[in-house]
Amino acid sequence: MALVEPVPDAPAAVADCGGERALVVADYHAGIEAGLRYERGVELRSDDDGRRARLLALCDRVDPDRVVVLGDLLHRIGDPVDGEDDEVVALVDALDGRELPLTLVPGNHDGGVADAYGDRIEVADAGGLRRGDVGFVHGHTWPDRSVLGAETVCVGHEHPQIRLKDEVGGGRTEKVWLRGRLGVDPFADHLGVDPAALAWNDPELVVFPAFNDRSGGTWVNVEGQSFLSPFLPDALADGEAYLLDGTRLGAYRRV
């Protein structure tokens, strides 16, 4: 059985971390509506209650020992602002009520989280975190070597989506999971070492869809769409895409 199993019909997975089970989500983007108002002048009613309710429903569904967020708990880069702070506090309060600790693997939007909530949230290093045979990293930086030594590596940051077209030219986008073997060469090149020096365990890479429904994404099967992570897509040459309902689409580049 895989160490990381997606929850059917949800942008979330359960990770077997040895001594505990973790519910894992990526790119929560608390306060995104305030960010969109500031960044783009877009006015949207906050869905903070909806996001929190969906996460808590997943907790009730899978009964984890811990919740792990693969980066970008916040939306706006820097210290938490109005909208973000209220949403994060309400989320942490709700998890505390269930006696569920929250671990954040910080992303590029989480610079102020440790200072603001370090007494309530376990904040890992930016290079990632390893629990048992599962490694966690946001994906905006190169993972620590300890993370790369895991059997399965979980990554966020990309918000992967597939662009689908029908016979009459209509189209839609769907969130997807990307899964495949993590290639060693980009990491060896980055570190300036021979691939054999990394004692590579041929880990599986799992790229998570964004939990937030309003955060957009990268159309991974559309030419000209660039990946965000410094090691993708080179380190996932043979990855496959899966819809949230588990449908296997095959090689993501050829969907």
Q: Could you read off the pLDDT of 126-163 as tens digits, one per residue?
A: 899 999 999 999 999 999 989 999 999 999 999 999 98
Give the model's pLDDT for residue 179: 97
Give residue-wise pLDDT tens across range 62-92: 999 999 999 889 876 555 656 678 889 999 9
> CA nearest 109: which of 39, 19, 200, 23?
39
pTM for this prediction: 0.93
Angle among Cα 237, 5, 234 to the nearest 5 degrees reads 15
- Alpha-carbon distance of 75 to 52, in angstroms, equals 15
- Alpha-carbon distance of 63 to 1, in angstroms, equals 18
What single-letter amino acid sits at 206?
V
Report the domain count for the chain: 1
- The domain of 31 spans 4-254
Tokens 């399965």 found at: 152
Give the model's pLDDT for residue 108: 85
* Beta strands at 152-155 and 204-207: parallel, antiparallel or unpaired: parallel
| pLDDT over 90 (residue 55) | yes
